[in-house]
Amino acid sequence: MATKIVLEGEIRNEFGKGAARRMRVAKRIPATIYAGGEQPKFITLPMKETTLSLRHTNALFELSFGEDKAMAVVKDVQRNPVKRIVEHIDFYEVKAGEKIDVEVPVFVEGTPKGAAVAFVDIQELKVRADVANLPERVVVNVEGLTDGTKVFAKDVVLPEGVELDIDDPEESVVTVEVPEDATESTAAPEAAAAPAADAAAAAPAADAK
């Protein structure tokens, strides 16, 4: 189930860089709520609470401003490239029961067999889900998988009510393989052992003389 976050905002009537700067000095973040073909709504939100809430991927926001309320998801976040503070947020208004497309980060759990390592081929997987059931992450279990194994999009276990929404379900999401450096480190001791074995075999022949 999606994380639900309630934020109390204020309607904003000032625009431009100067106004945005004053809002940030006052610990407010300017934001815009888009709703299909309707006119966007312009608000400000408390900086601390809003910044903390952005840690949740695909959270469902209940935003209040003046006498109005809107249920929305984050569409885009603009951050200062140096200070990394949030400078502006775009929201997309949604309705209860509506299904939308979202991108969900992919994580792996478990340990592959032997020296094999799991590599994530797709960092985010596109899925479709009800706004009340938006997943924060997708987890792929690689426990015991062997070198050369691939987990395709169609094989990923999704939360109940969540559907895969990509063009190619055969696309690889996770690949399990032994890294080249691991292969080289295994081959090196074997190569070093060969001359040692040859020397040991030559020693008795020398003694026989």
Secondary structure of 165-177 in the HEC alphabet?
CCCCCCCEEEEEE
Answer yes or no: is 186 within a domain.
Answer: no
Co-location of 79 and 110 in the same domain? no
pLDDT digits (tens, 9 = 90+) for 68-107: 999 999 999 999 888 889 999 999 999 999 999 999 999 9
Mean pLDDT, each 10-residue run in order, the chain (209 residues):
89 88 92 91 96 95 95 95 91 95 96 96 96 94 97 94 94 95 56 50 50
Answer yes or no: is 117 within a domain.
Answer: yes
CATH at 21: 2.40.240.10
pLDDT of residue 84: 85
pLDDT of residue 20: 86
pLDDT of residue 118: 97
Please name which of 130, 187, 186, 119 lies closest in space to residue 162, comparing C-alpha atoms. Answer: 130
Co-location of 87 and 105 in the same domain? no
Co-location of 58 and 73 in the same domain? yes
pTM of this prediction? 0.78
pLDDT of residue 190: 55
pLDDT of residue 99: 95
Instruction: Look at the chain and report how many structural domains it folds into.
Output: 2
By residue range, what is the domain housing residue 146?
Answer: 100-181
Answer yes or no: is 203 within a domain.
Answer: no
Answer yes or no: is 111 within a domain.
Answer: yes
Which residues, listed in sequence order, are joined to residue 129 by a DSSP beta bridge? 100
Q: Name the percent of the chain in helix, strand, coil, to the closest 5.
A: 25, 40, 35
Co-location of 81 and 125 in the same domain? no
Co-location of 106 and 67 in the same domain? no
Co-location of 52 and 116 in the same domain? no
Co-location of 135 and 111 in the same domain? yes
The β-bridge relationship of strands 99-109 and 138-141 is: parallel
pLDDT of residue 195: 53
Query: Residue 126's CB: how many other CB atoms inside 10 A?
Result: 14
CA distance 175 to 56: 27
pLDDT of residue 56: 94
- Write out the DSSP string of 48-107: HHHHHHTTSTTPEEEEEETTEEEEEEEEEEEE-TTT--EEEEEEEE--TT-EEEEEEEEE
